[in-house]
A and B are shown apart, each in its own frame.
Chain A
């Protein structure tokens, strides 16, 4: 990375009361490219972004924004304008159209006159640097910020939201019309200007959020987890959008829990517990895992058993399912090639070295997974040859709109069934019908053989539910939440206490039991939600994006427990946007435009889209290929 630094952090510390969110963070954000900010939950990512946006003042150290570097358009250099003084606003205005994609609209060339005046008023000389607060005070449009929970007004239309933000940014008249046109085209939101922001799909909301952040034609764009809750297709769109912005000279900070996103950034800053764990090119970090990553083809076809064996073995930093194989990351590269599993005696299978990914290095950097076995394998449900979950022709209509059309599938005991699909495809509607939160317009569904429509109360007693959004009582202590949900499902006395203790211990909640629930970090909140869903030993588990916004380490833990439970006969219905997690499913259905467009095991789905150019597609590629194929076959 030889681009000059646009922002420099020197020994930045941030304390909230006695809690240190950031400690001595020193890093730099290069100008004119996308910098990835990664780290587990509560690592301090959001705090850092808020500091950069000038919303907080660091308690230690300082942040310098080199406005000169930001203002000089990178793309302009080749056109002989690089010789201009660094913070010449005319240079910004005269910024040439995007070089990489000349036909596409650029956003950098619409710096408002107001900002130009402010630039002059600021009298910033070359190389002059300011802290974010000063920048915000003098050049309010210089920094664009999209918070984690986007600042959109859900009851206003797309256009109203844009107009509102434009007014706030003092973007008016002809200039406003131009920038709106560009933004709408850029985000592909033009057909939806009259739609209420609350009715947009997750991906579209994020695009609108970015569009609002772009209204003042900022030079520094801060995005706090724009990818959370967004399906792979929309994420790919978002990524392309941001890449184009960076190509046009904008400096972008992209905070994320998805390591595949970070891997694509030319520069990453990795935080853990408020400290910088790594800063630099992701490839550099990935290299640290070289020689330590292997794909194991299980000897006896039981990939889940192999996975469990790997997860409990000494020296393993990470293990997950990938297609029919198990991917392991070892703490130390083995002395000899462990073809016969020499380094992992309890694992039977063929070992093959594979190239490392950023996530492998990340897991190594954080110290690897928790290897203790899940205690949830104990006990077993009465065997049953009836399917645990059965959907028969489930249909939901809202007026003329069919949100879910003739959805049918069944899940046998002990299996994990994945419901995948883009945002707004009908996945949530289907999910809500299956757990009794929404009445189907037609069709039936059964949970553990009990009809949910006629004996809802009995059927509901057999299912455990974990909502996408954390939905427990936040003001009361953690243990009261457990107690309330236990009692609601008819547990009491000794049995309730026993279950509460077991689950609190299993999910590492014991030390939090007396705390008010709202104080839990996000990862712990998700654990508590899972604990509440498991208290009554449900036969069927409904998990709606259980790991959304949760870091890789906690995700591994979740799946360890979930796969452990399936061995006792529990069936799981799960929705997820992490395509990698879809690999844990025994079978899955892809929901798109209200229909199940394809269903089968992960391997079967992959095989169906495999081609000569791409013989071994990833789950994400499979997902996108299936949707594209459906779009071609069923034009709207």
Chain B
């Protein structure tokens, strides 16, 4: 079968003229390329080495006349294995038993403890999340956030619980297709819901979906098979035996999930892929139940009140009727004089209303003089805007412009009494147009004002409450001013002014209710009901209860479950066709799900869907998956892969440096129940891992690149390890696990995307500020700034191996990033707080043990002591800098008040956190 493939490939190569490429991959290598052959158990004797890893490494070294180095110092071993297994250095007091008795037994028990620590999953999740291109945002324009963190938590939990990797694989690729799949298995499918998703206006959802499926196919190839399928999208693979047809057969496995972009309104598109509700957290559930109990209590009280409501209502009715009889009444003011700006005409009607007509100027201010109003104590003023046939629809506004809407805008309503300004405290209108509330007429803002669109053709009134009662003596003079400057002739056509003595609010009943009340016993059923409803609506206690009930209902509704993105198969599967030149608009032949012929066979019992594909991937016959997994771990521990091209096990990849070791580890993985922890323990307990990292002249001569492991590697830590280690050193590390992403400080202005719903970065001001890196929000368009400087990818696509650079930006980050400045200050405080340290030398020693897990050398101590003295003098000279520096750590909960000491020891803390040693696993 594979021979046939080769022949076909060869032919294609001839045709497209890339023979030289094919020639490089000779016929032998295509037919029996090592990586496509199932690993074989190597023959070896275990006598000389308890750990087979050391057997393979030593054998290979011997060929080049080298051997393993001696074991590293115990404290170095300890720091190395802490960093590798839980992602932070050991703290003073931890694993003391190993340091005092560095035996294999103690070392192994330390390893067991670390493997069982919940921090193991937090450390190892990072690598998997790079592969899974996990992020908290969609990518592309706007780059909105959407929740998928439950998947991140699933990865951490699964690694911690030691979930076998075959299950780990199956649940992530096809958890939703397992019989009676659990919530957890569905969350796992978030693995393939991470591809970027474009929701910018103008997107074509199908093209977006195709891109996502392509991403799923390519990522699956890279993550589980160490194979690049991508080339075969547009043509048969140039180097590896994968045809274009086979590519689309893999594509077919993933082609049955729904569109993830939906047109929500107009040109607005939203992210719309399948989501699942997560179970409510204990805390939320408790809160919800408490609220429900409260709700029940209020409902009961409401019921009780309603029972006795009719009696209360009768009392109220009597009272109101009584009040109505001698209620204060509006007294219409008699017009003394009227004038208006512009050339309008006017007459004063018998009812003392003023009708303005004739010319309609763009804007107009009315002035009205009232002489001796014959009232003693005025509490409110009423302005009525009345109807008249001279206006369209009878008014009450004069606006004739464009729309025939007889509106008016009263921008300012003011009153002077005997030349002194009277102030209003409130204004209420029968109706106010949206954004034109009547309060705008008394706010001293000539732009705002009262208008009534669309309630034309009916009278309106506004009541202005005076701030202080007007005490009027005989002969008082009132001067009203109505400013109407909105333009377009929006002025009041007919109006009338009145004043009231005493409290008018008591009779401030709706007219309808008033008349029903006055009917006394002659009310019909509807009227009785209407009155009862009205009374219930103003009943003081019921009113409170209704507000509380509405509030509680909203609160209960607001306790929604968190959600997460999951894969879900459509009822009807899509037809898959080869896409000519990779373009979905040019479909070719139809294909059905299938796997590349060069690899192991697809078992007939496997279903032809994602579940079957996952089962095929973890089939023990698969020559790749187990090798690819162990190789990536080896690289993480040892600095480089046995196959250095971790992402490419194809013919263009490098051959393994230790093929037997690779195969032995791969077989061991499968035989020991796909246990990642088992392989990790094997590696970290090997002599090869525990040996010294010191580079000798012989090393430089014979193997400068350390391909054969005659010494342990020295490797700069990842961005995440650097953060976590500095947090641990500073004492700030918050152990809280899981949940929505956290926002430690970063400079302002890094999140500044365009578009709607663009999220904002608000730094956490509680313990979330100091949580591990794996929980930090990952926005693809602008990942966390300090991580980027330490080579973190944007997670827009699957990343197997991060670059490790060494740049000045990294120096600036550790020196000046607020997050690290806070940690330096907290570390300084921690040094000061430590009891039983009597002098600076002891404090320096303590600081070294905390940050570097070793004692300081004398030369280091001496240097830092001199520096501390210098720093002390600086602080004496400029004490103000202490407050300034300390203000950088607003959210750090210091346990000491020795601010001067913190400022002094900041120097040492800052230096230690910046050391090459502090950010290197050595």
A and B interact physically: no
Interface residues of B (CB under 8 A from A): none
Interface residues of A (CB under 8 A from B): none
